[in-house]
Amino acid sequence: MINAKKNYSTKYYDNEADANKHMSYVNGAAGLLAIVIWILYLTGVFLIPKHFYLVVCILFPIAAVLLFIPMFFIKTDVIRKPGYKYFILFSLLAVIIALNISIPKHSLLFWPFAILIANHYYNPTIGRVIYIVCLVAMLLCMYFGMFFGEFDENLFGGGVILPDGSIGTVETIQERIDLLRDRMAAGDNRYLKVLLYYYFPRAACLSLFFLVSNLLNRRTYKLLDDEVKIHDEQQKSKTELNVARDIQMQTLPDEFISNKDVEIVGELKAAREVGGDLYDYVDIDEHRVALLIGDVSGKGVPAAMFMMKTITSFRDLATVGKTPSQILKEINTSIMKGNKAGMFVTCFLAIIDKRNGKMVYANAGHNPPIVGSSQNFEFLKCNHGLLLGCFKNVRISDEEITLKPGDSLTLYTDGITEARDPSGAFFGEERLLKAFNKKDYTSIVEVHHSIKDEIAEFVKDAPQSDDITFITLKYRGGSYSYIEKEFNGIKENIADMLSFIKDFASDNEFPGSFTNKLLIVGDELFSNIVRHGYESKGGPIFVRLLFNEDTKEFSLTIVDKAKEFNQLNVDIVNKEVKHLRVGGLGISIVKNIMSEYAYDHINGKNILVLKKRF
């Protein structure tokens, strides 16, 4: 047996559970056989001694029950218990012993069957134990069968000559003892001859069968042991890759930020545990933000390391007053050092002035971004430029546009446009642009969620072949009042959160009726996260409040790290109130109060955005 103390892999236990499952079916079949033999006894097909009749009527039903018991545990965790295989094997062995005592001359073939079944577990130790038990039990069964089982001429050296000259049998124990004594007196020691001529040849055949099956068992054991070691190494590598993924994801910025000037949402979905896509944004100073996206050649750990090197170079250079083209050229110089593998990265870098929407950008062989607003999105016109990491001198130029208040800029990698459906067709740029112009979105959170849905609907069950990454920035412009605060998601903090909203409403002179409605909205949403998201165990809840003094638009953003939970998906149409789950009716009120709302789940965070003009 594989040493469970030394090897904690579940691979062995999975194999053993599978063997137990198959053995349960085998025992069930053996149970049916026991019932058939029992019926044959009752109908007189087998010559059963009268004194053994009552024993047979009790023994075989018990044997059938023992064999049928494992069938009831096939779909339970019992078959995974380490000791369960012994119950299966020894219940089967007990039935074989009973059969060999009852019908000695018909049941000898069951002993190899017991050894074969034991070797089904790829466990040499169990095979040896069952072999020894079978050798001892077979001898004892022969001797017990002489007195208690069906009359076997081989055990007694022939039948009994009856007065009429015919050959007959003896049934009672005393008659058999007398017969054996008479034959021993005549020089025919049946006990010794059964041992020498009846038992040893069968034991030799059984031993040969055991040696062959045990050699196969040991070979299979080695194969399974090697498979377990390979599996454990793979699990170890997977664990290490998961750690690498965590480190890589921690290198990326927050997936969502929102302040009075800009709103940014980004997500990276690697095709493997780690990937080569990257995105980043850095506040250069109080008024400017730099936005970067990139796609490294290749996949896996090398691409991830190259990706982190690119991000590190970007962060070192972004705040030193250089233009996008200058930053990209210096990133190229940095990543060229030690790049013996010849890897490269495509990048797009933009610097946005939050005061006036002026955006200076440069492209290094990357996909053109999408820019615009309100069903008027288009691809940004930009030079293609040269990718980074291949040439010492790259020609990259700065370009400039001005974002209008409300405009959004979306940077993405070719994992989106080159996503394939089951037939192999590409998602493509045209379909991507059409998704952006599909409707007038509430916020970039809704844009983000809708694009993911479009891709998922297109791809269906086809495997993801490349990393999928995109980041969207929305330029607000105008005059805003903004505040945010983090709360612990417990019911005792609901009052503090409502006071936070009330104070913001008071500072911005919201109408009293609207303030009361906002308190209802905040209470419902916060309470749902506490009860259903965190299940009253607590956790961070970020609440952001934003008010545009020019347009009189109020925006409430709530971000939490609870389990995935979209509060907006509560359908109460044509349902009675008594059938609603907790919170259902409240969400209906929330939707009636707020005019726009959107939800997305990004990298373990629930993001909920609601808006209202008054």
Q: What is the full DSSP assignment across 166-198?
A: -EE---SHHHHHHHHHHHHHTT--HHHHIIIII
DSSP summary character for residue 377: -
Supply the pLDDT for residue 330.
93
Mind listing the pLDDT tens digit for each residue in 284-329?
998 999 999 999 887 777 777 888 889 889 999 988 889 999 999 9
Residue 12 has a pLDDT of 67
Looking at residue 244, its pLDDT comes to: 59
Q: Give which of 544, 526, 614 is closest to 264, Cα–Cα.
A: 544
CATH of domain 253-475: 3.60.40.10
Burial (Cβ within 10 Å: 0-12, 13-18, ≥19) of residue 392: exposed
Q: Which residues of the chain have pLDDT under 70?
A: 1-12, 46-56, 122, 162-166, 231, 234-249, 272-275, 570-585
Tokens encoding 564: 């995935």
Can you give the pLDDT at residue 447? Answer: 87
Kind plus residue range of the DSSP H or E element containing 599: strand 596-602
**C-alpha R_g of the chain:** 39
- For residue 494, give every residue at least 6 positions away whose Cβ sits within 8 Å of its Cβ, in sequence order, or none: 523, 526, 527, 530
**What pLDDT is stored for residue 583 in this prediction?**
43
**Sign of the alpha-carbon dihedral angle for 544, 549, 551, 553:** positive
Return the pLDDT at 10.
64
Domain 480-613 coded CATH 3.30.565.10:
yes
pLDDT of residue 50: 63
pLDDT of residue 134: 92
Q: 472 with 408: CB under 8 angstroms? A: yes
pLDDT in tens, 465-474: 788 889 999 9
Query: Can you tell me the distance from the alpha carbon of 112 to that of 130, in angstroms, rounded to the nearest whole number?
Result: 10
